[in-house]
Amino acid sequence: MPSLKSRKTTARTRKALKSPGKGAENSRGGPMSGVELAEIKRLIRLVLETGIGELEVSAGGRTVRISARPEGAALSAQTAGPAERASAAAETPAPPAAPDTTVAITSPMVGTFYRAPAPDADPYVEVGDRVEMGQTVCIVEAMKLMNEIEADTRGRIVQILVENAQPVEFGQKLFLVQPE
């Protein structure tokens, strides 16, 4: 019987499963059957409808992990359940909409986010710091490689959206910068 586990994201980097294309082969060497694809689609719908962050299913020596996180969501929003997010949104009225002129620095890859070059070193940037184009703002570790992420705009850091040593996804917002 397959084991179903709902997991919260951990600090360790995980391998992302890529969706196989048409005619792709499974781990047993044969083409993916319509039944397997239908089951994966059903699991995706389950994750989206229930609002759980992640689902992992293991059966017959194969494991499928489905993760559904809103892009750029703050860590606290990711750990709260759907009912908690809905009640919190209902209790706090939205502030008047101001034009958002901030620019996001996003992760170019899946990996682990680090604010400093070493555990005992100062962070590259703090909220309020001025950054120049090309300045290193953090590191994303992917497959044991440390990738320096650079600012692609000049301005001031107004918000850091990810906690140190947390996993990040491709395109996830890491920092908000007020351009100068």
Domain residue spans of the chain: 3-19+27-67, 75-81+101-179
Averaged pLDDT for residues 140-149:
93
Q: What's the pTM?
A: 0.46
Closest residue by Cα to residue 161 from 137, 144, 141: 137
> Domain 75-81+101-179, what fold?
OB fold (Dihydrolipoamide Acetyltransferase, E2P) (2.40.50)
Tell the residue number behind the tokens 């604010």, with chain if given.
115
Q: What pLDDT, on a 0 to 100 scale, did the predictor assign at position 71?
A: 45
Q: Which residue has the higher pLDDT, 56 or 89?
A: 56
On the question of pLDDT at 61 being above 50, the answer is: yes
Q: What pLDDT, on a 0 to 100 scale, did the predictor assign at position 91?
A: 52
Q: Which residue has the higher pLDDT, 179 or 10?
A: 179
Distance CA 105, CA 162 (A): 11
Q: Which helix (H) or strand (E) holds 47?
A: helix 34-50
Lowest-pLDDT range of 11-20, 25-34, 84-93:
11-20
On the question of pLDDT at 102 being above 70, the answer is: yes
**For the chain, percent of residues with pLDDT exceeding 90:** 43
CA atoms within 13 A on the CB side of 125: 28
Residue 93 pLDDT level (bands cut at 50, 70, 90): low
pLDDT in tens, 69-90: 554 444 433 344 444 444 444 4
Tokens of 147: 């990738």
User: Residue 128 burial by CB count (10 A; 0-12/13-18/19+): exposed, middle or buried?
Assistant: exposed
Kindly report the backbone phi and psi dihedral angles of residue 116, in degrees, each rounded to the nearest multiple of 5, phi listed first: -130, 160
Q: Which residue has the higher pLDDT, 30 or 128?
A: 128
Distance CA 151, CA 170 (A): 16
Kindly report the backbone phi and psi dihedral angles of residue 81, in degrees, each rounded to the nearest multiple of 5, phi listed first: -75, 165
Q: Which residue has the higher pLDDT, 19 or 50?
A: 50
CA distances (Å), 158 to each of 3, 123, 130, 140, 162, in order?
Answer: 43, 15, 10, 20, 13
On the question of pLDDT at 139 being above 90, the answer is: yes
In the chain, the amino acid numbered 4 is L
Distance CA 81, CA 52 (A): 7
Averaged pLDDT for residues 129-147:
94
